[in-house]
Amino acid sequence: MSTVGRFMATMSNSLSLKHGVSLYSSTSSSFSLSKLHCKPSLVASRPFYNRRCFSISASSSFANDNREYVIVGGGNAAGYAARTFVEHGLADGKLCIVTKEAYAPYERPALTKGYLFPLDKKPARLPGFHTCVGGGGERQTPEWYQEKGIEMIYEDAVTGVDIEKHTLQTQSGKSLKYGSLIVATGCTATRFPEKIGGNLPGVHYVRDVADADSLIESLKKAKKVVIVGGGYIGMEVAAAAVGWNLDTTVIFPEDHLLQRLFTPSLARKYEELYEQNGVKFVKGAMIKNLEAGSDGSVAAVNLENGSTIEADTIIIGIGAKPAVGPFENVGLDTTVGGIEVDGLFRSKVPGIFAIGDVAAFPLKMYDRVARVEHVDHARKSAQHCVSALLSARTHTYDYLPYFYSRVFEYEGSQRKVWWQFFGDNVGEAVEVGNFDPKIATFWIDSGRLKGVLVESGSPEEFQLLPKIAKAQPLVDKAKLQSASSVEEALEIIHQSM
Ligand SMILES: Cc1cc2nc3c(=O)[nH]c(=O)nc-3n(C[C@H](O)[C@H](O)[C@H](O)COP(=O)(O)OP(=O)(O)OC[C@H]3O[C@@H](n4cnc5c(N)ncnc54)[C@H](O)[C@@H]3O)c2cc1C
């Protein structure tokens, strides 16, 4: 593909006509991009008009050689976007990725799964899980980016954007130029305030490899682990911590695990499984503060109800916020946060796009604006955005929400857990199966099946789930309730499609 990229450099004129972008590519490292006039007819036909015309003039030096396309952020979405640029033959000499991490994009979900396996149980390590292995693609190591002619700027955060001059500023003082800019900055973990102990040594947040490495150092000497939060991160880290044979307690304010998705009944099954594995739960609890011991490291969690739980390692998994910091002038969504984009991931500022966790996009099938903090959307939004940017493709993103988790997968574990959910968890829930190992929950709204979750499905069953959730068939609730197994329930739904 990289040879195609070189060839495409000679075709920038024809590309510019399609896109309203006229980037006369140069092998020289010093050129600048400035606005020309675009055809008004194109402007009128698009709610968010992002394609711009540029000319190039000699200019002062910028720190990036590849200026036609710049991606800010080096996570899941950036990795899949890079692959799509390569597939279109438009990466080589044209694409620059700037990331604050020291690593090429990787499959972030691994950090609370294989990465935290006990050290004697073959934990995952880079370069094993660089993107795009999770999506069944080639492993894009740092060498891959070099071979494809993609310029990587590591360990430097973008701190500001000048949307008139098409420039970015970085923490280290670099100035970068872009033609089209894709914001893929993901989220940052929500932290406890410093005044209640949120920054004490021994308190961890897991968002990147550096965080996970720091947690592993703590786990090596830990005796008592407390996890704050009963969502994905909490569930995954708790499953890992008991694999290390550590005293593990999970604390959360809700009355059951994964409250935003699981029904109380489904959550109870998982809670029992966790308890059988040695995890203790403290539900309905509010944290007052994290307390330091005599050495200054965290030693205990104090709850609002007056009780105290000892801990030498605490992991906080209480959610994340979109990393919009430098891009606030690009247009933020006030309801779901993040950068507001249309169905082609174009922001309100011409030439600026947003993908992955940070994008607030139209969730077409449910007619609402959403941000989705899941890897499947990171991958698909990246592919959709870049394909639309580089081709004449104009069909809008039509995403079907898909969430999953996999835990207890280390060697020697009594039972592995792998569930998948597709659709919308609205309406009434019908549960089928005994969790031995399968169980399914079906959400039915106005007679139609809107969402489905299956634990321990076969590959064929998992493949059926998105089809069901997309079709939203009318289902006979009483018949579904009487199904004696997950297989039978799925067959009933299949027949009603
Ligand atoms: C521990 C963990 C486990 C997860 N498990 C699952 C799971 O099981 N299933 C699932 O579906 N999803 C899971 N997710 C969510 C999934 O990983 C994210 O939805 C996905 O990574 C989003 O991709 P992204 O590229 O938008 O953001 P990210 O992958 O977070 O990448 C953002 C990148 O931008 C960089 N960055 C941020 N700001 C700047 C800046 N100003 N300048 C330069 N670089 C910047 C960051 O350092 C990072 O490299 C998990 C997330 C975490 C943290």
For the chain, 497 residues long, the average pLDDT of each consecutive 10-residue run is 30 25 24 32 36 46 96 98 98 98 98 95 96 95 98 98 97 98 98 98 98 98 98 95 97 96 97 96 97 98 98 97 95 94 97 98 96 97 97 93 92 91 97 96 97 97 97 96 97 93
Using CA atoms, how far residue 390 sits from 21, 395, 436, 448, in Å, is 10, 13, 48, 38
The pLDDT assigned to 45 comes to 34
Position in ligand 1 atom list of the atom nearest CA 208 = 53
Report the nearest-CA residue for atom 37 of ligand 1.
Answer: 185
134 lines ligand 1 (CB under 6 A): no
Pocket test for ligand 1, best of 108, 145, 345 (most atoms within 8 A of CB): 108
Q: Which tokens go with 288?
A: 């007052």
Pick from 326, 301, 379: nearest CA to 188: 326
Q: How far is the CA of 290 from the centre of ligand 1 (A)?
A: 27
Report the nearest-CA residue for atom 31 of ligand 1.
Answer: 75
The residue behind tokens 């403290």 is 282
Q: How far is the CA of 17 from the centre of ligand 1 (A)?
A: 34
Q: How far is the CA of 442 from the centre of ligand 1 (A)?
A: 29
405 lines ligand 1 (CB under 6 A): yes
The pLDDT assigned to 59 comes to 52
Instruction: Report the distance separating Cα 276 and Cα 104, nearest Å.
Output: 38
Position in ligand 1 atom list of the atom nearest CA 77 = 25
379 lines ligand 1 (CB under 6 A): no
Position in ligand 1 atom list of the atom nearest CA 326 = 41
Report the nearest-CA residue for atom 14 of ligand 1.
Answer: 109
Q: How far is the CA of 137 from the centre of ligand 1 (A)?
A: 18
430 lines ligand 1 (CB under 6 A): no
Q: How far is the CA of 111 from the centre of ligand 1 (A)?
A: 10
Burial of 368 (0-12, 13-18, 19+ CB in 10 A): exposed
Q: How far is the CA of 186 from the centre of ligand 1 (A)?
A: 5
Domains present along the chain, CATH in parentheses: 33-187+321-390 (3.50.50.60), 191-318 (3.50.50.60), 416-496 (3.30.390.30)
Q: How far is the CA of 497 from the centre of ligand 1 (A)?
A: 36
CA dihedral sign of residues 262, 267, 269, 273:
positive
404 lines ligand 1 (CB under 6 A): yes
CA triplet 267, 287, 209: central angle to 5 degrees? Answer: 70
323 lines ligand 1 (CB under 6 A): yes
The pLDDT assigned to 17 comes to 21
Position in ligand 1 atom list of the atom nearest CA 187 = 30
Q: How far is the CA of 29 from the centre of ligand 1 (A)?
A: 31
The pLDDT assigned to 60 comes to 58
The pLDDT assigned to 248 comes to 98
The pLDDT assigned to 61 comes to 85
Pocket test for ligand 1, best of 214, 375, 377, 422 (most atoms within 8 A of CB): 375
Q: Which tokens go with 462?
A: 């998992």
Q: How far is the CA of 188 from the centre of ligand 1 (A)?
A: 8
